[in-house]
Structure 1
Amino acid sequence: MGVVINQSIKNTIITYLGFGLGAINTLFLFTRFLSDEYFGLITYILSTANILMPLMAFGVNNTIIKFYSTFRTRQSQNTFLTLILFLPLVIIIPFGTIGYFAFDAISTWIANDNALVKEYVWLIYISAVIFAYFEVFYSWAKVQMQSVFGNFMKEVFHRLATMFLLFLLYLEVITVDELILLIVIMYVIRTCIMMVYAFSVKRPTLKFTKLAKLSDILKYTTLIIVAGSVANIILEIDKFMIGFYNILENVAYYSVAIYIASVVGVPSRAMHQITNPLTAKYLNERDKVSLKELYQKSSLNLFIISGFIYLLIVLNINELYKLIPEQFGSGILVVFLIGLAKLFDNLLGNNNSILFNSDYYRIVLIQGIFLAIISVLLNIYFIPHYGLNGAAYATFISVFLYNIIKVSFVYRKFGILPFSENTLKVSILIFISTMAFYFWDFSFYPIMNIGLKSLIIGLVYGGICYYFNLSEEITKLLNKILKRT
């Protein structure tokens, strides 16, 4: 776990820096510098592009991680990487052609008679292609065990650039229309930088020779499109559906709540940058002992860290919402439900990596398709009846069912579970902490309340985890920090 802990710590710091910048953008700048409708429009464009991204990438961002370690010679690696570079064009070019000739019909359907959305539909396709190739280049670097710079570009760069653009809007240097266009251009620049870095780590040498396992690679990449689409549909369909029902302002309110709750998932995002290629390596080498150890340790460590973050959020949520415009306060229940869903995701450790890098991914895809359909149907039912909360209900139910199926499947096929005795102890600790601190607030200014309450929660939660040694890795890390101080 040495390389995992080392890069995970760096990735966690970078990811939280990015989320800190994103929090400033989402909670304070977007909500004050933009109308709710335009805020919702930007969120709608990017969320829809994220739904399309796995399709545009043709699944190769996952394919490179699964298969790269199976090629031993330099020539076979170069041939494989050449295939990876050009394969997404198989989808991108035909879809772009269809979109060009059928633009009016497609934009009318996506906009659903919303004139504001219709003007920017073309940016959804551009953004999806940009996102796709960014993930390809990022995976290119990750298989060389270099994930830190890519994580910086993924989490920090675009948020810092967006902050700069928002201040230009506030100073009336640019218009709202120019802001939307410049945000997309910024993502283009990000992808170009990622490409240069990836190629500096592993210089591409174009080889168009016959490739072994080509049939297996094409089968996997075709099916993994569905896997990525399923995951993104479950995560992003709620924002798309809210916008589809012509309530762009509600997309803005919902996105703020989602952003707050998504902080719970940051440790998972950071750790998976390095556990994903390691998981693929253990599976390819059939090293079940290392796989089980990685599965359980990643689960426990993520659960402890994300559990603490979940407590900080839900126990301070009322004070936090006092700091942003009042109309955004309708998303408090969304924060609770989506936060729980993210916590459950973390509890599964590197479960996704095991599934999508194993030989059983086909069966999981079928289950995922079924759940994606359920997610869409749940959103269709709940959103008209319960608005923002309805979208949260649909997402929570979908994520809960999906995770139950995934952890059960890994247990049936590999005979391993991510849980341990300490998992139960951490669950009890999170529950008791919630009950003890939720109704306890100070009577100071909200920022002071949040800071003081968070400090107390951190001392109690961290102290208990340290005293009972609930995680060897976290205890060792704390010992190093304490010795340095």
Structure 2
Amino acid sequence: MGIVRKQAISNTIVTYLGFALGAINVLFLYTNFLTDAYFGLVQVILSASAVIMPLMAFGVPNTIIKFYSTFKEKEKKDSFLSLMLLLPLVLILPIGALSYIANDTIGTFLSQKNEIVKDYVWYIFVIGLAMAYFEVFYAWGKVHMKSFFGNFLKEIFCRLGVTILLGLIHFKVITVETFLVLLAAVYIMRMLIMKIYAYRLRMPSLKIEIPDDIGDIIIYSALIILGGSTAIVLLEVDKVMINQFIKIENVAYYSVAGFMASTIAVPSRAMHQITYPLTAELLNKKKYKELKKLYKKSSLTLFSISGLLFLLLLVNLKDLYSFLPETYTAGFVIVAWIGMAKVYDALLGNNNSILFNSDFYRAVLLLGVLLAILTILFNLWLIPKYGLNGAAIASFLAFFIYNSIKLGFVKRKFNMSPLSKETFFVLFILLLLGTLFYFIPFAIHPILAILLKSILIISIYLSILYKFKISEDINLLINQFLRNFK
């Protein structure tokens, strides 16, 4: 776990800096510098772009990670990477042609409830394209164990660009229309920078030789679209569907609550940057003992950290919402439902990496498609009935079913489970601290209340985990901190 821990820590720091910028944008700048309707419009554009991104990437990011380590000769590696640059065009070209020909029809469909969306279909295509090729070049870096710079671009670059653009709106340097154009330009620029960095790591060859296992590569790429689409549908389709049923301002309110809950997933996102290629390598070399160890350790570490973040979020939620405009303050239930989904996701550890890099990925992807459909049906049922809370419940139900199936699948096929007695000990401590601090009043300024509760909870929680040596990784981090402090 040495290389995992080192890069995961670096990626976690970058990811949290990105989330700090995101918090400034979502909780303060968007909510004060844009109207609720335009804030909702931005979220619909970005969410719709994210939904079509897996299609446009044609599964290539995952394909690079799975197959790159199987090529031993330099020429074959170069040829494989060059082929991966062209494969996304298989779907990008027809999607682009469809967007051009059916622009008015798509715009009319997306604007049934909110007319403001109609004129922004092309923004969705352009940003989706930039997202897709960014992920391709990012995977290029990952297989060379260079995930830090790509993670910086992914987590910080666009958010910093948004911060600057919102500042320009506030000082009336640009209009909202110009902001949307420049937002697309930021995503394109990020993709181009990642491309240059990837080429510096390994320049693609102009000569392309068709690999012997091209059939497996194409089939895997095509099927992984389903997996990527499933994950994105579970994450983003709720915002797009809210736009179809209720006023677009509600997308803004939902996005704020969803952003708060998404902070729980930061450790998972950071660690997965390096565990994904490492898992692929262990599977390719059939090192199942090491894989089982990585599975349990990643699950326990991520659950311990994500559970703590969820606890801190819940006990401080009322104070956090006191800083937002009143229209945004109805999101407690949303944060709770989405937060539980994120914690369950963390409990899986590197489960996704195991499934998508194994020979069983086809079955899991097909199950994922069924659950993506189920997610849409949940939203169709619950949003009209319960509004924003319905969207949050739909997301939780979809994640709960999907993750439960994946846990069972890995247990059945690999005889591995991430759960241990330490997992249940951590759960008990979280429930105990949550019950205790949720009902203790802190009649002081919200900022002081947040700081005091957070310090107390973190100190008690980490002391208990450290004393009972629950997580090897957490104990190592605490020991390292204590040595540096001394």
TM-score tier by shorter-chain length is over 0.9
Asked if 1:165 is matched to 2:194, the reply is: no
Structure 2 contact 114–248 (Cα < 8 Å) conserved: no
Corresponding residue number in structure 2 for 1:306 = 306
Amino acid across the alignment from 1:465: L
Task: Give the CA deviation at 1:331.
Answer: 1.0
* Cα distance between partner residues in 1 of 2:110 and 2:401: 28
Corresponding residue number in structure 1 for 2:84 = 84
Amino acid across the alignment from 1:178: T
Asked if 1:361 is matched to 2:358, the reply is: no
Corresponding residue number in structure 2 for 1:422 = 422
Cα 1:206–1:246, aligned 2, differ >3 Å: closer, same or farther? farther
C-alpha deviations, 1:189-221, integer Å up to 9, x for none?
111111111111122222212312100000000
Structure 1 contact 280–357 (Cα < 8 Å) conserved: yes
Amino acid across the alignment from 2:78: N
* Cα distance between partner residues in 1 of 2:484 and 2:225: 47
* Cα distance between partner residues in 1 of 2:374 and 2:124: 24
Task: Give the CA deviation at 1:246.
Answer: 4.3
* Cα distance between partner residues in 1 of 2:110 and 2:40: 15
Amino acid across the alignment from 2:98: I
* Cα distance between partner residues in 1 of 2:271 and 2:343: 14
SS at match of 2:203: coil
* Cα distance between partner residues in 2 of 1:322 and 1:121: 35
* Cα distance between partner residues in 1 of 2:147 and 2:242: 34
SS at match of 2:331: helix
SS at match of 1:315: helix
Corresponding residue number in structure 2 for 1:132 = 132
Task: Give the CA deviation at 1:265.
Answer: 0.4
Amino acid across the alignment from 1:348: L
C-alpha deviations, 1:327-350, integer Å up to 9, x for none?
111111000110010000000000
* Cα distance between partner residues in 1 of 2:245 and 2:120: 17
Amino acid across the alignment from 1:284: N
* Cα distance between partner residues in 2 of 1:282 and 1:466: 30
Task: Give the CA deviation at 1:354.
Answer: 0.5
Corresponding residue number in structure 2 for 1:297 = 297
SS at match of 2:470: coil
Corresponding residue number in structure 2 for 1:156 = 156
Asked if 1:7 is matched to 2:7, the reply is: yes
* Cα distance between partner residues in 2 of 1:13 and 1:98: 41
C-alpha deviations, 1:388-417, integer Å up to 9, x for none?
100001000000000000000001000000
* Farther off after superposition, 207-216 or 294-303: 207-216
Task: Give the CA deviation at 1:300.
Answer: 0.5
Corresponding residue number in structure 1 for 2:330 = 330
Corresponding residue number in structure 2 for 1:479 = 479
Task: Give the CA deviation at 1:267.
Answer: 0.3
Task: Give the CA deviation at 1:247.
Answer: 1.6
Asked if 1:73 is matched to 2:108, the reply is: no
Structure 1 contact 257–335 (Cα < 8 Å) conserved: yes
Matches within 5 A, 1:198-209: 198-209=198-209
* Cα distance between partner residues in 2 of 1:470 and 1:445: 35
Amino acid across the alignment from 1:463: S
* Cα distance between partner residues in 2 of 1:441 and 1:160: 37
Asked if 1:374 is matched to 2:361, the reply is: no
Asked if 1:436 is matched to 2:436, the reply is: yes
* Cα distance between partner residues in 2 of 1:146 and 1:96: 32
Q: TM-score, normalised by structure 2?
A: 0.99
* Cα distance between partner residues in 1 of 2:7 and 2:196: 21
SS at match of 2:144: coil
Task: Give the CA deviation at 1:112.
Answer: 2.1
Structure 1 contact 111–121 (Cα < 8 Å) conserved: no
Corresponding residue number in structure 1 for 2:180 = 180
Corresponding residue number in structure 1 for 2:262 = 262
* Cα distance between partner residues in 1 of 2:207 and 2:278: 26
* Cα distance between partner residues in 2 of 1:107 and 1:388: 23
SS at match of 1:359: coil
Task: Give the CA deviation at 1:352.
Answer: 0.4
* Cα distance between partner residues in 2 of 1:150 and 1:124: 22
Task: Give the CA deviation at 1:113.
Answer: 5.4
Corresponding residue number in structure 1 for 2:47 = 47
Corresponding residue number in structure 1 for 2:464 = 464
SS at match of 1:211: coil
* Cα distance between partner residues in 1 of 2:19 and 2:321: 17
Asked if 1:340 is matched to 2:340, the reply is: yes
* Cα distance between partner residues in 2 of 1:379 and 1:428: 32
* Farther off after superposition, 139-148 or 475-484: 475-484
Task: Give the CA deviation at 1:311.
Answer: 1.0
SS at match of 2:444: coil
* Cα distance between partner residues in 2 of 1:259 and 1:402: 21
Unaligned residue ranges in structure 2 (runs of 5+): none
Amino acid across the alignment from 2:406: K
Amino acid across the alignment from 1:412: R
Task: Give the CA deviation at 1:110.
Answer: 2.1
* Cα distance between partner residues in 1 of 2:166 and 2:329: 23
Task: Give the CA deviation at 1:101.
Answer: 1.4
SS at match of 1:205: coil
Task: Give the CA deviation at 1:420.
Answer: 1.2
Structure 1 contact 441–453 (Cα < 8 Å) conserved: no
- Length, aligned pairs only: 485
Task: Give the CA deviation at 1:313.
Answer: 0.5
Amino acid across the alignment from 1:474: I
Identity %: 51
Structure 1 contact 348–407 (Cα < 8 Å) conserved: yes
Amino acid across the alignment from 1:398: A
Structure 2 contact 312–454 (Cα < 8 Å) conserved: yes
C-alpha deviations, 1:288-331, integer Å up to 9, x for none?
01110110100001011111111110110011000111111111
Structure 1 contact 11–271 (Cα < 8 Å) conserved: yes
SS at match of 1:69: helix
Amino acid across the alignment from 2:136: V
Corresponding residue number in structure 2 for 1:277 = 277
RMSD between superposed Cα atoms in Å: 0.9
Task: Give the CA deviation at 1:99.
Answer: 1.6
Structure 1 contact 112–246 (Cα < 8 Å) conserved: no
* Cα distance between partner residues in 2 of 1:269 and 1:30: 24
SS at match of 2:436: helix
